[in-house]
Amino acid sequence: MVWFSHVDVFAVIFIIIAIYIYKNKEIFKLSWRLPGPTAWPIFGNAFAFLCKDEDLFERAVYLSSRYPSPMRIWFGPKFAFVVTNVVQAEKILSSMKFTTKDKMYKYMAVFNGEGLISGSGPKWKRDRRLMTPLFLKKNVIQHFPYILNHTKILAKLLEEKADKSIFNVIHDIQRCAADFVNETIIGIKTNAQGGELENLLENLTRMYTVVHARMVKVWLQVDWIFRFTKYKKLEETGKQVIHGFFREAIRINNETHVCTTKKDLSFRNLLDQMLDIRDDVTNFATDEELVHHLTTLYSASEDTVSTISSFTLMLLGIYPNIQSKVVEEILSVVGDRDIEEGDLARLVYLDMVIKEVLRLFPIAPFLAREASQDFQLDEWTIPKGCTVVVSIQNIHRDGKLWMKPNEFYPEHFLPEVVEKRHPYAFLPFSAGPRGCLGKPYAYMAMKIVLVTILQNYLVEAEGTLEDIRLKTDISVRTKDEIYPIRIRRRKK
């Protein structure tokens, strides 16, 4: 039997640490020069994040607002170069050297695979290039009538809740969004508003919880530990249900898809258009890769549109004067008839209101990237492989960029005010080569939903903006995931 003395053990640990430091010497050099909370060996700033899961978001925002940009944070042994300054954010987000998603995204990839959000590298680059035309305004505008149809069903169903007590509006909007996203993007007709998709929706919510839990709980990142937790079972069932749903959508669309020579993209769902790409480009996507694209696009659209529309209704309930101005505009542009495509650009004040909601509640408050090559940011050399986090939340609340950073003030988006502001001060859709592809679809869908609801109902909400507490998983949400409003029928 061999006995090791304490000295031997310490010597081995010392050598391992020395090799680790030598291999990461550029990161340590950089860390040394940056401000940030006191970091401990191995644990880094873990103690600063000792709080309940739902408080992590507020803790991260607080920490990143205490130091000048750039600053450092150590998530255990993992270093992050954190940017909260708009000029630096532009340099990072607009660079091709930061198109690689951080390793954290691999937990999302369990569901989304190499889809556009979690994918990186040459496959992402090619898929993004091929799929970009599908998301252009002139293509997605064809989906307008389908979105409107489902929204009219929503307005009708809400009658049951009118002139009664407070309810959680996201429950209804999410089911409506599920139906229009399924018809326009996924290529199948569903009746979530009639209660048909409860199992899918439940599993999607669980999927977001599992992804988030693995991103923030370091021990769940160890595969063999994860295997023994409740999350593993949730992940397996979630994958089965969610991927099963999209596999079936692909099977149905494969049957009806006809190879087109004329590239007329109008009135065709996005999956069918992806099948067109597959007809033309060898290796574009296997059925399994299409499942990942659909899982990505579904959550990128349904979850975001429902959340931001619900936040907007809540804030309009809290600010009746702003709601009156929105309704006045709707009456003058749309009146009592159904909203039409031509109205979208003329709803200028509503547009400002939605943007202000996106400023206060950016869906992705922190963007994490990995430097694919060394990068010089002002006087700092960011080494290849280093994690860089851009804090959208801090930029959106920066008093040097916004007149009333912590208030709901749609006038932040008056054209003359926007003109004077830095173009990267408003980043709800991120920006640059990895910016959101779905922006035109998102604005169109949110305007249709909000106009149709506000034409029919007056919205009321209790509390104040300061009462709204946030948390984040794959998106920002209210802490209790409830968006309480009361609605009253409008007199026609």
Q: Does 290 bind ligand HEM (CB under 6 A)?
A: no
Closer residue to ligand HEM (CB): 358 or 459: 358
Q: CA 298, CA 292: separation in Å to the nearest integer?
A: 10
Neighbours of 322 (CB within 10 A): 18
Q: CA 109, CA 365: separation in Å to the nearest integer?
A: 20
Q: Does 104 bind ligand HEM (CB under 6 A)?
A: no
Question: CA 421, 100, 207: angle at the middle one, nearest 5?
Answer: 95
**H or E, element range at 200:** helix 198-216
Min dist CB 358 to ligand HEM, Å, is: 6
Neighbours of 325 (CB within 10 A): 17
Min dist CB 307 to ligand HEM, Å, is: 8
- The partner residues of 381 in beta bridges, in order of sequence, read 376
- The partner residues of 81 in beta bridges, in order of sequence, read 72, 388
Q: Does 107 bind ligand HEM (CB under 6 A)?
A: no
Please check whether residue 466 is in contact with residue 204, taking contact to mean a CB–CB distance below 8 angstroms: no
Min dist CB 96 to ligand HEM, Å, is: 13
Please check whether residue 490 is in contact with residue 353, taking contact to mean a CB–CB distance below 8 angstroms: no
Q: Does 297 bind ligand HEM (CB under 6 A)?
A: yes
Scan for tokens 């980043």, then name that residue. 427
Draw the binding track, 340-369, toward ligand HEM (x: CB under 6 A; -: no contact). Answer: ------------------x----xx--x--
Strand order in the sheet with 387-391: 71-75, 78-83, 387-391, 366-370, 100-101
Please check whether residue 369 is in contact with residue 102, taking contact to mean a CB–CB distance below 8 angstroms: yes
Residue 259 in marked binding region: no
Min dist CB 117 to ligand HEM, Å, is: 5
Min dist CB 492 to ligand HEM, Å, is: 30
Nearest to residue 488, comparing CAs of 461, 465, 448?
A: 461
Read off the amino acid at residue 5: S
Q: Which position among 441, 452, 472, 473 is part of the footprint of ligand HEM (CB under 6 A)?
A: 441
Mapping DSSP to helix (H, G, I), strand (E, B) and coil, where does residue 71 land? strand
Q: Does 117 bind ligand HEM (CB under 6 A)?
A: yes
Please check whether residue 368 is in contact with residue 468, taking contact to mean a CB–CB distance below 8 angstroms: no
Closer residue to ligand HEM (CB): 270 or 382: 270
Classify residue 472 by its DSSP letter: E
Q: Does 305 bind ligand HEM (CB under 6 A)?
A: yes
Q: Does 85 bind ligand HEM (CB under 6 A)?
A: no
User: Which of the ranges 65-73, 146-154, 274-282, 436-444 carries the binding residues for ligand HEM, by CB under 6 A?
Assistant: 436-444
Min dist CB 483 to ligand HEM, Å, is: 15
Q: Which position among 116, 176, 285, 476 is part of the footprint of ligand HEM (CB under 6 A)?
A: 116
Residues touching ligand HEM: how many (CB under 6 A)?
A: 22
Question: Residue with CB nearest ligand HEM?
Answer: 438
Closer residue to ligand HEM (CB): 315 or 363: 363
In 3-state terms, the chain is what percent helix, strand and coil (to 5)?
Answer: 60, 10, 30
Residues 128-157 interacting with ligand HEM (rule: CB under 6 A): 128
Please check whether residue 379 is in contact with residue 34, taking contact to mean a CB–CB distance below 8 angstroms: no
User: Which of the ranges 46-54, 284-292, 373-381, 426-434 carries the binding residues for ligand HEM, by CB under 6 A?
Assistant: 426-434
Q: Which position among 109, 442, 485, 487 is part of the footprint of ligand HEM (CB under 6 A)?
A: 442
Q: Does 434 bind ligand HEM (CB under 6 A)?
A: yes
Closer residue to ligand HEM (CB): 444 or 458: 444
Nearest to residue 214, comparing CAs of 299, 349, 106, 81?
A: 106
Q: Which residues bind ligand HEM (CB under 6 A)?
A: 116-117, 128, 297, 300-301, 304-305, 308, 358, 363-364, 367, 428-430, 434, 436-438, 441-442
Which residue positions form the known binding site? 436
